[in-house]
Structure 1
Amino acid sequence: MPRAPARRPALGRIPLLAIFAGIAALAMLLPALHAVLRDDEDTARPFLYAAILILLGCVLVSLARGGEPDRRAAARAELVALVGTFTALPFLLAVPLAEAEGLPLGDAAFEMVSALTTTGATLYDPSALSGPAHLWRATVGWLGGLFMWVAAAAILAPMNLGGFEIAADGPIGAGAARRRGSGGAGDRMRRYARQLLPAYAGLTAALWVALLVAGETPLRALITSMSTLSTSGIVAGGLGATGTSGVLGEVLVLMFLVFALSRATFADESRSAAVSRMHGDPELRLGLVLLASAAAFLFLRHFVGAADLGVTETEDIPTALGAAWGSLFTAASFLTTTGFVSDGWSDAALWSGLETPGVVLMALALVGGGVATTAGGVKLFRIYALGKHAERELERLVLPSSIAGAGMVARRIRRTGARAAWVFFMLFALSLAGTCLALAATGVPLEDALILTAAALSNCGPVAQVAGDGPIDLAALTPFAKTVMAAAMVLGRLETLAIVALLNPSLWRN
């Protein structure tokens, strides 16, 4: 007797965008609760009402779609769900923020796009927003980081996108066709969420408790822990990661930033045997080399400047150590596209009398963190693939008859992986040039346009505050310039290859 086909779980028949909206609605209860504890009912009411309305809408959509056959196994539907999450969902998230803080809906939507893409750029001075508003921005950023963790494994990895194309054995954007038997995107998202959510939430809670023990205030500790794990860089005031906890708090934050350097630090599964263990992970090793090199360069620069001023005596050793720590922490923060600035960073500038080299921090942010992490940027794995390819080419110049070993995966990375990385670099350069020209056409000075473009595409909003001669006032941008920046944030988060794969005609054929 033939076996009846298994019935797909109810959650697997709900559109992905409705699931994400429902999760975001539940998250609105957190700032509402915080506002109630502060006896601020006027702020709590918009978050509570918005949560109820959005949840009701999600239930109605689920009931309407519950009886339809599941067609979300198609690759195009998965990519459309990704694009829709970062373009349509921010408007829902912006409604309670706009109502609670009295902001224009367009500006509130910009804030939500920035938070959801873990960019962390803001139009407002931190003192202009209330505590619940900062908590809501950090919560949206935390959810955006979790979403990218899960989506990378459930959607981008099966399609050979998001950096997974470097070690993949199939064409870019076509991997999902071979894996449809594993279920639709909703099934895979639910399966990977069960695996990654405990680790993500547990690490956030651990950092929160550690910061509380270090002397940080509860609200700032929670916001900082969320921003660290999601690499959004959202804080309640300024660009500093900590307030009352000082250097000890920065040490704790740095310990948790390592999870943005490589997927091997928090996940067991891997597409390549070369990245299956942390001690042999190429992304982690390359990230540590770049971090050490950048920190050493920044410290030596300040040291030479201080020597020219004649202030490198013995009594200045604590200042020198503070400058070294500030360089290390800030470099690590921008390499992971978080954007925290150490308190010792400004002290180092005062010690040496030199301006802060923001272009170095911008370059680190453009490099970015690891594949399938919350960090943005180009990704370390692509840099590694191009480096291995260049190393092999130099070896062939010296020994033309040499044969490279290290296995099939290493050969794939040096050949097809390097080719895919180069294609991505060209698309990234075109995106950089196009966005910069679009911003310049709105009246933004060319230097500021380049900095804003790098901040948006690398998903590291604090670059706009430290890379130039002075902070760039995002609130002074025209509405069209803000729209261009928001689109660049989404493009940087999803990456150009995913957008190109979505436009592939083969994905739209029945």
Structure 2
Amino acid sequence: MQTSPIRAAVFVSSVFALYISAAMLIPAAVDIYYGNADWQVFAFCAMTTGGLGLIVAAATRSRPPIQSTRFAFLLVALLWVTLGLVGAIPFYAASLKLNIADSVFESVSAITTTGSTTIAGLDNVAPGLLLWRSLLQWIGGLGVIALGLFLLPFLNVGGFSYFQIESSDIDERPFERFSTFMVALLGIYASLTVLCAIAYAAAGMSSFDAVNHAMTTLATGGFSTHDASFGYFEGQAVLWIGTIFMLVGAIPFSILILLAVRGRLDALRDPQIRVFLGYVAAFALTVAIYRRVTADIPFGEALAHSAFNFVSIITTTGFASEDYSLWGPYAVVAAFFATFLGGCSGSTAGGIKAYRFYILAKMLANGLRQLIHPHVVQSIRYGSRTVDADMQRSVVLFMTAFMLAWVASTMALAAGGLDFVTASTAALTAITNVGPGLGDLVGPAGNFVPLDNYAKWILSFMMLLGRLEIVAVLVLLMPSFWRN
């Protein structure tokens, strides 16, 4: 008898819960090294969650189900919910005394690489908890890559899959074995993290800060070990290092693997990379010029901070070197619109993503041409390959769902008492997985601590919704999904 998809999804999720519980031993060891009593919390949480995960895995293990899109949708949602709940346990049990809403919010923000936080006074938080936040984001970033490259393309909601990379031979399969690709992915992700940590340390960060910020930079997550984020560090070197590695994290990792393993420079011709780098350069340069003219700041300094903060917003990282909401009206408006953009498909970045803007622009141009020449049929192309009707439908479906979800969540937050700027930007930054919004409460100089539990539960759901490309979650709410 074939296994139930729900049972199979629970089994896979419980196995991943075992991995997360094992990862809790790392911050436990760090707390032992620094002489902090929270190591007992991590050790206890590792044993209890690991034991519970083992029991559930043993109880649900059976023959694999028939592979289907219905099973994949269910697995994706349940997996991310499980990781968010398991990751929240140390936050709830540790010395911070966070409530359940705060703990789940912090964990979901970490694994979705959003970067919003409900913890104030980070400079005084135990090192194990700081490392746990960073480690969850690093693990979440790796999971996001796998999600974007394999699962969501299979479901027609997450963009181009790994074997749809733009190349001279569109039918070529660069890696015949999946295991070869995964080893290369893990190797490059870990190597870039180590390289980033070394660069941060060379620029003046302590070893602990360098490791934490390297993990959250490559994951484009944005968690910092200090309330002031990158404003805590002196000099422009750390800003440029962060800018470079955030950009790397927002590039398709399939492209990075082709470059590293096969030396495929032609992979850089992927149109979404040009679109992504184009709007990054446009925002960074125009805001730098604006600050040079209006605030009489040296252009080099203005460019360093503008590039860092806008790359952080666009790549949905969430670091901040200054409170850019004080830079003037143009900078604030630019930051608002930059929040929508995002990086590339198959990267750790969130947002709408560059390839969707590219396809939408092509669809618009094609539609205008057909108004002029109604009888001319022209295909929409992504580089050298044709964008089929399914992909066009997927882009339009995502954009429609995105706008509806943003409006609905903004209204829900406003119903809870938040003002328009706070409600709209908090909802936007959650669904795009950026981190900071605008305003005094959730802006780059604030955090999400003052929000009530009602708002935090809504935003936790929106972070998951945005990370799973919205449609992958909304489909579970359809009655037809559960029939038969």
Range class of TM-score, shorter chain: 0.7 to 0.9
Q: Which residue number corresponds to residue 228 of structure 1?
A: 217
Aligned equivalents of 1:152 and 1:266: distance in 2?
15
Q: 2:406 aligns with which of 432, 438, 448?
A: 432
Q: Evaluate the alpha carbon distance shift between residue 408 and residue 363 of structure 1 in structure 2; reply closer, same or farther with a 3 A threshold.
A: closer
Q: Evaluate the alpha carbon distance shift between residue 14 and residue 399 of structure 1 in structure 2; reply closer, same or farther with a 3 A threshold.
A: closer
Q: Which residue number corresponds to residue 61 of structure 1?
A: 56
Assess if the C-alpha contact under 8 Å between 1:232 and 1:337 holds in 2: yes
Cα distance, 1:79 vs structure 2: 2.1
Q: 1:250 aligns with which of 229, 233, 239?
A: 239
1:134 and 2:123 matched: no
Q: Which residue number corresponds to residue 43 of structure 1?
A: 38
Q: Which residue number corresponds to residue 172 of structure 2?
A: none
1:149 and 2:152 matched: no
Q: Which residue number corresponds to residue 218 of structure 1?
A: 207
Q: 1:86 aligns with which of 80, 83, 92?
A: 80
Q: Evaluate the alpha carbon distance shift between residue 290 and residue 127 of structure 1 in structure 2; reply closer, same or farther with a 3 A threshold.
A: same
Q: Evaluate the alpha carbon distance shift between residue 156 and residue 468 of structure 1 in structure 2; reply closer, same or farther with a 3 A threshold.
A: closer
Q: Which residue number corresponds to residue 266 of structure 1?
A: 256
Q: Evaluate the alpha carbon distance shift between residue 104 and residue 502 of structure 1 in structure 2; reply closer, same or farther with a 3 A threshold.
A: closer
Assess if the C-alpha contact under 8 Å between 1:333 and 1:340 holds in 2: yes
Assess if the C-alpha contact under 8 Å between 2:314 and 2:343 holds in 1: yes
Provide the secondary structure at the position in 1 that maps to 2:348. Answer: coil
Assess if the C-alpha contact under 8 Å between 1:259 and 1:265 holds in 2: no
What do residues 290-311 of structure 1 show as CA deviations (whole Å, max 9, x unaligned)? 01111122122223314xxxx5
Cα distance, 1:466 vs structure 2: 8.0
Amino acid of the structure 1 residue aligned with 2:53: C
Q: Which residue number corresponds to residue 77 of structure 1?
A: 71
1:391 and 2:385 matched: no
Which consecutive unaligned segments of at least 5 residues does structure 2 have?
Answer: 1-7, 165-176
Cα distance, 1:197 vs structure 2: 1.6
Q: Evaluate the alpha carbon distance shift between residue 30 and residue 498 of structure 1 in structure 2; reply closer, same or farther with a 3 A threshold.
A: same
Q: Which residue number corresponds to residue 169 of structure 2?
A: none
Q: Evaluate the alpha carbon distance shift between residue 378 and residue 55 of structure 1 in structure 2; reply closer, same or farther with a 3 A threshold.
A: same
Q: Which residue number corresponds to residue 3 of structure 1?
A: none
Cα distance, 1:137 vs structure 2: 0.7
What do residues 20-75 of structure 1 show as CA deviations (whole Å, max 9, x unaligned)? 211111211111111111111x2100101111222223333333344x21116233
What do residues 253-281 of structure 1 show as CA deviations (whole Å, max 9, x unaligned)? 22222234331532449xxxxx9944311
Amino acid of the structure 1 residue aligned with 2:119: Y
What do residues 342-377 of structure 1 show as CA deviations (whole Å, max 9, x unaligned)? 35x76x96xxx7467233223212111111211111
Q: Bigger CA drift: 297-306 or 484-493?
A: 297-306
Amino acid of the structure 2 residue aligned with 1:46: V
Q: 1:324 aligns with which of 276, 280, 303?
A: 303
Q: Which residue number corresponds to residue 24 of structure 2?
A: 28
Q: Evaluate the alpha carbon distance shift between residue 36 and residue 465 of structure 1 in structure 2; reply closer, same or farther with a 3 A threshold.
A: farther
Assess if the C-alpha contact under 8 Å between 1:382 and 1:418 holds in 2: no
Aligned equivalents of 1:357 and 1:480: distance in 2?
31
Aligned equivalents of 2:314 and 2:9: distance in 1?
39
Q: Which residue number corresponds to residue 183 of structure 1?
A: none
Q: Bigger CA drift: 282-291 or 497-506?
A: 497-506
Q: Evaluate the alpha carbon distance shift between residue 276 and residue 386 of structure 1 in structure 2; reply closer, same or farther with a 3 A threshold.
A: farther
Q: Evaluate the alpha carbon distance shift between residue 251 and residue 296 of structure 1 in structure 2; reply closer, same or farther with a 3 A threshold.
A: closer
- How many residues matched? 458
RMSD: 3.3
Q: Evaluate the alpha carbon distance shift between residue 466 and residue 198 of structure 1 in structure 2; reply closer, same or farther with a 3 A threshold.
A: farther
Provide the secondary structure at the position in 2 that maps to 1:62. Answer: helix
Q: 2:105 aligns with which of 91, 104, 110?
A: 110
Q: Which residue number corresponds to residue 204 of structure 1?
A: 193
Provide the secondary structure at the position in 2 that maps to 1:463. Answer: coil
Aligned equivalents of 1:116 and 1:397: distance in 2?
45
Task: Please give the TM-score of this superposition, normalised by the length of structure 2.
Answer: 0.85
Amino acid of the structure 1 residue aligned with 2:394: A
Cα distance, 1:438 vs structure 2: 0.5
Aligned equivalents of 1:218 and 1:81: distance in 2?
38
Cα distance, 1:199 vs structure 2: 1.6
Aligned equivalents of 1:46 and 1:473: distance in 2?
25
Q: Evaluate the alpha carbon distance shift between residue 79 and residue 469 of structure 1 in structure 2; reply closer, same or farther with a 3 A threshold.
A: closer
Provide the secondary structure at the position in 2 that maps to 1:290. Answer: helix
Q: Evaluate the alpha carbon distance shift between residue 278 and residue 334 of structure 1 in structure 2; reply closer, same or farther with a 3 A threshold.
A: farther
Provide the secondary structure at the position in 2 that maps to 1:59. Answer: helix
| Greater C-alpha radius of gyration | 1
Assess if the C-alpha contact under 8 Å between 1:28 and 1:47 holds in 2: yes
Which consecutive unaligned segments of at least 5 residues does structure 1 have?
Answer: 1-11, 169-186, 270-274
Assess if the C-alpha contact under 8 Å between 2:156 and 2:391 holds in 1: no
Q: Evaluate the alpha carbon distance shift between residue 99 and residue 298 of structure 1 in structure 2; reply closer, same or farther with a 3 A threshold.
A: same
Cα distance, 1:341 vs structure 2: 2.0
Q: Which residue number corresponds to residue 7 of structure 1?
A: none
Listed as ranges, the matches of 1:3-14 within 5 Å are none
